[in-house]
Amino acid sequence: MGAKFSFVARLKRADEEGRLAPAIVLSLTVAALIPAFLHALAALERAPVPVRLKVFLEGFPEHLTVNISVYNLTQKGAVGDARASVRGPSPPEGLTFDFTVHKTPIGWVGRDRVERILYKIYPLNVFAYAYVPERRELHVASTYVTVSPERYEYVIELKAKRVHSRRVSGDQVPSPGQYAQFLDRHATNVVIVACSVPPGASCYVSIPQDANIPIETFEKMYWTDDPTLQTWTEEDWEATGYVSYTVDSSRTGRFSAALLYYFPTNVDYVMATVGEGPPPLYIVRILLYATNINYNTCSASDDWTPCSGGVFLTQFKRPETGTESWDKYAGFRVQVESFSASFTAIIGESIKVQVGGSFSLIFKIEPLTLRSRCRWRT
């Protein structure tokens, strides 16, 4: 290999076999369009769109071989799309993965009197590891990124950490290539936006139909360098990043003297197992991520207690009239809902995998996702 690594992997929609095949997903609104426009959308979907993923490695020992895997997170589990390995210092320009995604319309939305087509997004997991056999040291890094046909290049950094936890037997390790789906009807652990409105002010919140909200992802890992002994090393569940998730309906509201937050309803989750190699190291990873399956995600609100400290509203000198706008950030302490699934274990028995109740995170709303306006009364 040269200093630059290029790989081509086609990301298409998952079918019953876990592979990916192109198709158009049309909303009822799009279905009502004139036939000529539908034909134009179909032609647009058939044209592949290039996407580039640049990966930078940090913290891996330079004398080790680092293996990198890229997975497409589908409704039917995680599908491996590209693999690479590099020995020695990471190339300064990073590792380049070139993909082809399909510009699949899922509907359209009108905003600011301009109609914009909504496209399917593709969540990916990028995993890297290096192993020192003589010391049984495993260095790993994992992150998530959501790619869209509307953007060409994505840059991510993988920062290595050394792992070594507790020993378990093979009957507690799930086999790779399995998945389970969950529907969280009230994902109260996910914050879309939060409002802290003092008396004398009103706050206008607008959640557009196509809002892409970040939802936490979680991972668990088992590994061994001698599977014949049926003894594996088990790592704890960890929060490892976010995937972008599309809200399928809009919501607006004006509030005065309110403390509330919005959370998504009908969020689809997938728990999937994947296997890593090559020998002598064997790794089984469990991935828990949100992905749009039914495209029926709405939003609901509930009371909110703001985190201690911090300023949630821009300071004004009264009296002042008119409308002010600003980027809104929200701090919120969350806990993951409980999910569990029964998988087949490495040695052929049944094993139940469970996650939930053990994570406490700070969630930050990224700017430009939502719009907030505050009108002061005089």
Q: Both 185 and 74 in a single domain?
A: no
What confidence score (pLDDT) does residue 55 get? Answer: 94
Of 165 and 153, which is predicted with more confidence?
A: 153
* pLDDT higher than threshold 80 for residue 268: yes
Same domain, 312 and 331: yes
Decide if 224 is inside a domain.
no
| 247 and 298 Cβ atoms separated by less than 8 Å | yes
- State mean pLDDT over 215-240: 88
Between 23 and 73, where is the model more confident?
73
**Tokens 């929609």 appear where?**
13
Contacts 24+ apart (CB under 8 A), 133-140: 133/225, 133/280, 133/281, 136/164, 136/225, 137/162, 137/164, 138/162, 138/163, 138/164, 138/223, 138/233, 138/281, 139/59, 139/60, 139/61, 139/64, 139/163, 140/221
Q: What is the reported pLDDT for 329?
A: 44
Query: CA distances (Å), 195 to each of 75, 199, 203, 265, in order?
Result: 33, 13, 8, 18
Residue 110: predicted pLDDT: 64
| Percent of the chain with pLDDT strictly greater than 90 | 29
Q: Are residues 50 and 142 in the same domain?
A: yes
Q: Which residues are paired to 88 by β-bridges?
A: none
pLDDT in tens, 27-43: 323 334 444 554 555 55
Instruction: Express each pLDDT in 92-110 by its tens digit.
Output: 888 999 988 888 887 776 6
Measured CA to CA, the distance from residue 218 to residue 289 in angstroms comes to 7
CATH of the domain at 154: 2.60.40.2190
Q: Tell me the pLDDT tens digit for each residue of 68-87.
A: 999 999 999 999 888 998 98
The mean pLDDT value of the chain amounts to 75
Same domain, 158 and 170: no
Same domain, 50 and 93: yes
Note whether residue 289 is domain-resident.
Answer: no
Residue 56 and residue 11 share a domain: yes
Mean pLDDT of 253-270: 85
Asked if residue 201 belongs to a domain, the reply is yes
Same domain, 151 and 202: no
For residue 53, is it within any domain? yes
Are 359 and 258 in the same domain?
yes
Which pLDDT band holds residue 287 (cuts at 50, 70, 90)? very high
Mean pLDDT score, 363-374: 40
Residue of 218 and 118 predicted with greater confidence: 218
pLDDT surpasses 70 at 331: no
CB-CB contact of 93 with 2 (8 Å): no
285 pLDDT band, cuts 50/70/90, is very high
- Asked if the structure places residue 233 within a domain, the reply is no
Q: Which of 146, 164, 182 is the last residue of a domain?
A: 164
> Could you list the residue range(s) of the whole structural domain that residue 33 is in?
1-164
Half-sphere exposure of 238 (CA within 13 A, CB side): 17
Residue 295 confidence class, pLDDT cut points 50, 70, 90? confident
- In percent, the amount of the chain with pLDDT more than 70 equals 71
* Whether residue 149 is found in the same domain as residue 171: no
CB 99, CB 81: distance < 8 Å: yes
Rounded to the nearest angstrom, the gap between the alpha carbon of residue 120 and the centroid of all alpha carbons in its chain is: 14
* Residue at which a domain ends, from 164, 187, 205: 164
Contact between 207 and 191 under an 8 Å Cβ cutoff? The reply is no
Average pLDDT over residues 53-70: 92
pLDDT score recorded for residue 229: 72
Residue 15 pLDDT greater than 80, yes or no: no
Q: List C-alpha distances in Å: 290 to 137, 258, 301, 342.
A: 31, 30, 20, 19
Mean pLDDT over 335-342 rounds to: 79
Decide which of 164, 190, 206 is a domain's last residue: 164
Residues 12 and 129 in one domain: yes
Same domain, 84 and 195: no
Q: Are residues 259 and 131 in the same domain?
A: no
pLDDT of residue 153: 93
Domain count, the chain: 2
* Arithmetic mean of pLDDT, 215-243: 88
* Predicted pLDDT of residue 373: 44
Q: What is the pTM of this model?
A: 0.75
pLDDT at 363 over 80: no
**What pLDDT is attached to residue 33?**
43
For the ranges 41-55, 112-126, 243-257, 260-274, the lowest mean pLDDT is seen at 41-55
